[in-house]
Amino acid sequence: MNMLILASASGVRARLLREAGIRFGVRPADFDEAAIKKDLRSRGVENEGMASALAEAKALNVSKASPQNLVLGCDQVLVCGDRLFDKPHDVAEARENLHFLRGRTHSLITACTLAEEGRPVWQYQERANLAMRSFSDAFLDSYLEDSAAALSSVGCYQMEGRGAQLFEQVEGDFFAILGLPLIPLLAVLRQRGIVAA
């Protein structure tokens, strides 16, 4: 095995790995994620299963093209009630999503898969529960002025930035909320000799 490959274009995941002192390469998965989600939904896969299936699909997609490396695929889904959210396409959709989430608790499910030689060798999933406060429309207008932050994640927020102001209570691992359950990942990378024990 040569190195760890991150099968994602996520700047946040790359930053977390880099700041943890992990050497890695980046090669985003190359497939139609919307088509895979549609297929998974048609087969009755939901919530936790959706996050895990997408993380595995990303890891396997890159692992088949780079079998000598250990490949990390990750995905997150947001669930509120019986509704599953995707990243908003524009500010209007972000506003609609935040209106729905305001004053409610939602779950953010983060899944990771490590693949080697085209097969999964480790999988992990974590759920965080986040309670959004009943923020004002004026705050929402001000918040959405930074549309890049609102459009960058499934929940329209970046917890490491101004998005933290949307919440009144958060239960769960901070790294997983950002998109990468770093502590369990570091443990398996130590076991596999990718990082020093």
Query: Taking a C-beta distance cutoff of 8 angstroms, is the pair 100, 163 a contact?
Result: no
What single letter denotes the amino acid at residue 17?
A: L
Nearest to 141 by CA among 85, 99, 80, 87: 99
- Counting other chains too, the contacts that 91-98 makes at CB distance below 8 Å and 24 or more residues apart are 91/144, 91/147, 91/150, 91/151, 94/144, 94/147, 94/150, 94/151, 94/156, 95/140, 95/144, 97/155, 97/156, 98/132, 98/140, 98/143, 98/144, 98/150, 98/156, 98/166
Q: Which residues are CB-contacts of 21 (< 8 A; sequence separation ≥ 6)?
A: 195
Residue 166, Cβ density class (10 Å: 0-12 exposed, 13-18 middle, ≥19 buried)? buried
* Residue 16 backbone dihedrals phi, psi, to 5 degrees: -60, -45
Q: In this structure, which amino acid lies at residue 128?
A: A
Which active-site residues does the annotation give? 75
